[in-house]
Chain A
Amino acid sequence: MKLIGLTCLLLISAWAQNVGPLEQAPAKFANKKNPMQGNESASRAGAKLYARECAACHGSEGEGGEKAPPLKRAEVFQAPPGTLFWVLENGSLNRGMPSFAHLPEPQRWQIITYLQSQKPADHATGK
């Protein structure tokens, strides 16, 4: 009985978290390396996947949308790739970001490579 109570409490606290997903990623994910970091063709494939999977919510240029935050921001650009990987894996289900665990890992890395190849300043200069 106690165990059930504890599990419920844990579940509720996980659901009720009030910080963005980047802050919620466990620290150990920060050490996970992006095997495609800086790879130009991975970034182009990532752009294609981004258009299909993410643009409807985050905007075609990552400028953000009605319900989703902009991704062309220093926090995303500078985030450890492993942290972004965790965000794509888990999403933030109660706040509207779906999980992308169904995408094969290499495709998630391609998207991350693309996100981090876009300097946040590009947005400000209207590029």
Chain B
Amino acid sequence: MEEPGNLELATKSITGRPADGPRFLGATTELEYGVKGWWTTEFYLDGQATFGDSTLFTGYRWENRFRLLPREHWINPVLYVEFENINGADKGLLEVVGHDGQEDLIVPNADARLEKQREIEAKLILSSYVKGWTVAENFISEKNIRHEPFEFGYSVGVSRPLALTARADRCNVCPENFQAGIELYGGLGTHADFGVRDTSHYIAPTVAWTLASGTSFKISPGFGLTGASAGFLLRFGVSYEIAQFGRAARSMFHR
């Protein structure tokens, strides 16, 4: 969750090359704002470039996250509700659901963009903090507003900073600023054929590095585990956090 009043600017990118298609680069720009301690709202703009094809804007997403319990527990549920208005050419691959697979990634942009995906997505995230480890399990369900079935997906991940205590000096390259982990994510079919048949799944180690200034870099190579999955996907991103954005903005204009 974002702290109330904080604004985070982030870009998330992904590149991959499906077996029978050209390499692509999907890019998402993200604005995340903490409205309340229990409510974070997020706005995304998506675009992609496919080599030998075209570069295009593919749509936007608006997401709200609600923390369901006011106190910290062994497991903490957070509900995500997202409205997506993207087209079929979107390659942001922020999550994998249903029977998403590498075949979706080889449709030429001119055709894929004609498909409208107005979808409501709900996610339940359960997270725990155990001895410095963050454990997160994530169950996703997605529904196109007009047609098509419910689609499901999951992700589970664990991560931990390389050191649990902070060093006394201000530092960039110190172990506490690095977070390493591993994630497993994939599709779970639809309500008509729930399960893992013909779905894609990935295993992805992740490394994040946060500078003393608050800028953070993340990289995560993902390896496809099934025939439907792309063989290799590389995700990378940068984020920057502006603490108490409202006040920071006001003091900028009142100087």
Contact = CB atoms under 8 A, between A and B. Distances in A.
Interface stretch (B100-108, B158-166, B186-194): B158-166
Interface stretch (A69-77, A90-98, A116-124): A90-98
A20 to B, nearest CB: 14
A125 to B, nearest CB: 25
Interface of B: 1, 3-6, 34, 36-38, 67, 69-72, 76, 129, 131-132, 134, 161, 164-170, 176, 212, 214, 243-244, 247
B252 to A, nearest CB: 15
Given A101-B72, A102-B129, A96 B37 contact: yes
A93 B38 contact: yes
Closest 4 CB pairs of A and B: A93-B37, A56-B243, A44-B168, A104-B164
A48 B168 contact: yes
Contact of B70 (A44, A93, A106): A93
Contact of B5 (A46, A57, A110): A57
B5 A90 contact: no
Nearest to A98: B3
Contacts, number: 85
Given A48-B166, A91-B37, A93-B38, A98 B1 contact: yes
A15 B167 contact: no
A52 interface: yes
B224 to A, nearest CB: 30
Contact of B165 (A11, A66, A93, A106): A106
Interface string A76-109: 0000000000000111111111110110111100
Please report whether the interface of chain A is mostly helix, strand, loop or mixed according to DSSP. helix
Interface residues of A, number: 34
Interface of A: 11, 14-15, 41-42, 44-46, 48-49, 52, 56-57, 65-67, 89-99, 101-102, 104-107, 110
B75 to A, nearest CB: 12
A97 B165 contact: no
Contact of A57 (B76, B212, B244): B244
A110 B176 CA distance: 13
A52 to B, nearest CB: 7
A104 B1 CA distance: 16
Nearest to A15: B70
Contacts of B165: 42, 45, 104, 106-107, 110
